[in-house]
Amino acid sequence: MARWEPGTAERMQQAALELFATRGFEQTTAAEIAAAVGLTERTFFRHFSDKREVLFHGQDQLLSCFLDGVAAAPADAPPMRVVEHALRSSADYFPDERRPRSRARQAVVDAVPALRERERHKLATIAEAIAAALRGRGVPEPAATLAAESGMTVFAIAFTRWLHEDERRSFAQVADWVLDELVGLTAGR
């Protein structure tokens, strides 16, 4: 199963977060990020296509977590149960020790409109991949897209909540809670 592991890219990411937080995203260069961990600009661009990408490295791993969860769901599981499996599996990407780093990253993303757009695009891409995986399991439309998009809505709300300063629950617990809220809301219509 895909799981978060630090490496060269992660070290540059960590340095980038610190520089973005202190100097601002616009004011920080790729060369400065690389230099902060003893590397060259060339090494930076071997890992990231641009400065924006340094904040979205790991997106493929996160997507893999979701899709692993879809694949692990029983063949006869209804669509929202499959999405529940995907959400549980995405929690592997957000162990509690990662919370401070995720908070720092989100503060940078929230402050820059272009980064918020990139983030929305990222979530939309994951939703499309989950919908495709559901269709691959025989789920028709619009159920496949509805279930996938609802899953990403739950994910986004749970993620924001998980980052709250006073939130102590694990990401998996928060995601379960938000999913239950959604089920209650729609049942209560």
Interface residues with a copy of itself (CB under 8 A) are 78-81, 84, 117, 120-121, 124, 142-143, 145-147, 149-150, 153-154, 156-157, 161, 178, 181-183, 185-189
What minimum distance in Å lies between the beta carbon of 169 and a copy of itself? 13
Distance (Å) of CA 2 to CA 31, 68, 89, 112: 30, 8, 9, 29
What minimum distance in Å lies between the beta carbon of 7 and a copy of itself? 30
Cβ-based nearer residue to a copy of itself, 36 or 143:
143
Distance between CA atoms of 183 and 189, rounded to whole angstroms? 10
SS (H, E, C) 56-96: CCCHHHHHHHHHHHHHHCCCCCCHHHHHHHHHHHHHHHCCH
Which helix (H) or strand (E) covers residue 179, if one does? helix 171-187
Cβ-based nearer residue to a copy of itself, 91 or 154:
154
Cβ-based nearer residue to a copy of itself, 108 or 144:
144
Cβ-based nearer residue to a copy of itself, 40 or 125:
125
